[in-house]
């Protein structure tokens, strides 16, 4: 069965360190997204991609970057982690017709 997987599921890091969250999908979807989930804010879009070599900024992109070198993967990098980036991060992919999003299980990141 097709799926979307995130790793690591849990990570604790220190302020200033670089962190990369991995996202891998086997749906063969062109569209991929990174969201963060925080209490009272719902899901906020960080970055998204409509295909290989395409990346776009979402509403909360500062301090984050992504790259899309193949269809399956969209890694999210925090260049210099800050305590404000403590959150649960969700990767998703979507098919083009209805835009239904298929979500990973989430990565809980704590920045101390």
Partner 1 sequence: GEDVEQSLFLSVREGDSSVINCTYTDSSSTYLYWYKQEPGAGLQLLTYIFSNMDMKQDQRLTVLLNKKDKHLSLRIADTQTGDSAIYFCAESRSGGYQKVTFGTGTKLQVIP
**Could you list the residues that contact partner 1 (CB under 8 A)?**
31, 33, 35, 40-45, 48, 58-59, 90, 92, 94-101, 103-106
Tokens of 44: 């906020």
Q: Looking at beta carbons only, is 52 or 80 nearer to partner 1?
A: 52
The answer to whether the beta carbons of residues 15 and 112 sit under 8 Å apart is: yes
Tell the smallest beta-carbon distance from residue 82 to partner 1 (Å): 23
CB 25 within 8 A of CB 86: no
CA gap 104, 106 in Å, rounded: 6
* C-beta of 14 vs 38, nearer to partner 1: 38
Q: Please name which of 6, 30, 24, 27 lies closest in space to residue 88, comparing C-alpha atoms.
A: 6
Nearer to partner 1, 73 or 95 (CB): 95
Cβ at position 96, least distance to partner 1 in Å: 4
CB of 93 to partner 1, least distance (A): 10
């Amino acid at each position: 069965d097709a799926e979307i997987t995130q790793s690591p599921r849990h990570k604790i890091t220190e302020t200033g360190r670089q962190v990369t969250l991995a996202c891998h999908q086997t749906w063969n979807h062109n569209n991929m997204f990174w969201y963060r989930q925080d209490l009272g804010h719902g899901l906020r879009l960080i970055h998204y991609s409509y295909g290989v070599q395409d990346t776009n900024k979402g509403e909360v992109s500062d301090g984050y970057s992504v790259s899309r070198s193949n269809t399956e993967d969209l890694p999210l990098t925090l260049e210099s982690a800050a305590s404000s980036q403590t959150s649960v991060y969700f990767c998703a992919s979507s098919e083009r017709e209805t835009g239904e999003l298929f979500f990973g299980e989430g990565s809980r990141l704590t920045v101390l």
